[in-house]
Amino acid sequence: MQKHFHKIIYAIIFLTLQSGFAQEQLYKKANPYYSRTAVNVLNVSNTEWKKILSKPLYQVAREGATERAFTGKYYKHNKKGVYYCAVCGNALFFSTAKFASTCGWPSFYEPVRANSVHYRKDFSYDMERTEVLCARCESHLGHIFNDGPLPTGKRFCMNSICLQFEPLTN
């Protein structure tokens, strides 16, 4: 009987954590800057972010590293919902703007809002690219290219680790 009781408790906890509200509350506890509703620009030092973020997320989002192609959790992800910044909670992309690309990273043809992201020239690795940053927390998300589908012709090539997905609920 006690064995079944523990299974029921674990199931309840698991289902509770699946709700977006519960997820946000967990993130807010570990990251006081995380919000899916705030739009204020954050001015947080990398020293502070390093204390809050996991090492892999910090390396990509704050140091501009890139996760290996074809390894990210959202590369072949096809559920309907919204992709948020994993660092601050800013809404970035709707799943309806996601498309299958062969580049190895999740790709989108437009952000949720024009001011959800901003851009910076990137000359790393002896290339000239345009870096995509979260407009709220300045975290590196990936790069944008001019080889995407209509209607924009853009390919926002994003690192999965910098994204957090919230499915649509019916």
Alpha helices in the chain (DSSP H): 2-18, 20-30, 46-52, 55-61
Spatial separation of the C-alpha atoms in residues 122 and 128, rounded to whole Å: 6
Nearest to 166 by CA among 82, 89, 107, 92: 82
Nearest to 86 by CA among 162, 146, 7: 162
Which is more confidently placed, 1 or 168? 168
Spatial separation of the C-alpha atoms in residues 164 and 118, rounded to whole Å: 18
Q: Phi, psi at residue 160, to the nearest 5°?
A: -55, -40
Does residue 57 have a pLDDT over 60? yes
CATH class assigned to 38-167: mainly beta
The model's pLDDT over 102-136, given as tens digits with 9 standing for 90+, comes to 899 999 999 999 999 999 999 988 889 999 999 99
Degrees (nearest 5) of the Cα angle 146, 148, 153?
65
Spatial separation of the C-alpha atoms in residues 107 and 56, rounded to whole Å: 20
The model's pLDDT over 80-106, given as tens digits with 9 standing for 90+, comes to 999 999 999 999 999 999 999 989 999
| Residues assigned a catalytic role | 157
Cβ partners under 8 Å of residue 142, min gap 6: 66, 105, 131, 132, 156, 157, 158, 159, 162
pLDDT band at 30 (very low <50, low <70, confident <90, very high): confident
Give the mean model confidence (pLDDT) for residues 8-29. 44
Whose structure tokens read 């989002």? 61
